[in-house]
């Protein structure tokens, strides 16, 4: 018996937020003009890679519904990866205070926090479904 409900929505939203952080971080906003400079992609490469790996992990986690225990483990791992992405983001911003990227620090932080919360909500929904399945198995 497989239950796949709201956790898929949570994981999909978390994945989209992780992709947004990974792909749109090098966009520099200075004043009213926003432009993407190719020279900014190279220093932000660790953040882009870890963010896209996190998004891929969350996307794969959606399709692990047939093995709920593995899905729960992957959800925990993706929550850790989101936290690691936030750590890398903070580390990069701490040592790039003179960079124009510091003007755009708020939206990736909000996206990462929301992705972390959504991943934890997905894990909680999986845990609830796992308990429900265990109680049904006990009846047989």
Q: For residue 28, name the pLDDT band (cuts at 50, 70, 90).
A: low
Question: What is the predicted pLDDT for the residue at 98?
Answer: 54
Structure tokens, 41: 């992609």
CA distance 88 to 70: 27
Q: pLDDT for 74-128, tens place per residue? A: 999 999 999 998 888 888 777 765 555 555 667 788 899 999 999 999 999 999 9
* Of 40 and 7, the one with more pLDDT: 7
Q: For residue 1, name the pLDDT band (cuts at 50, 70, 90).
A: very low
Residue with tokens 């925990």: 76
Q: For residue 135, count CB atoms less than 10 angstroms from its CB and return exposed for 0-12, middle for 13-18, buried for 19 or more.
A: exposed
User: pTM of the prediction?
Assistant: 0.81
């Amino acid at each position: 018996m497989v239950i796949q409900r709201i956790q898929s929505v949570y994981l999909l939203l978390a994945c989209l937020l992780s992709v947004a952080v990974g792909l749109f971080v090098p966009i520099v906003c200075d004043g009213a003009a926003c432009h993407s400079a190719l020279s900014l992609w190279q220093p932000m490469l660790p953040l882009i890679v870890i963010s896209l790996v996190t998004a891929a992990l969350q996307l794969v986690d959606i399709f692990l519904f047939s093995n709920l225990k593995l899905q729960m483990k992957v959800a925990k791992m993706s929550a850790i990866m989101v936290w690691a992405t936030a750590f890398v983001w903070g580390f990069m911003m701490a040592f790039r205070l003179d960079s124009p990227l510091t003007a755009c620090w708020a939206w990736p932080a909000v996206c990462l926090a929301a992705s972390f919360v959504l991943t934890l909500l997905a894990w909680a929904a999986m845990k609830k479904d796992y308990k429900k399945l265990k109680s049904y198995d006990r009846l047989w």
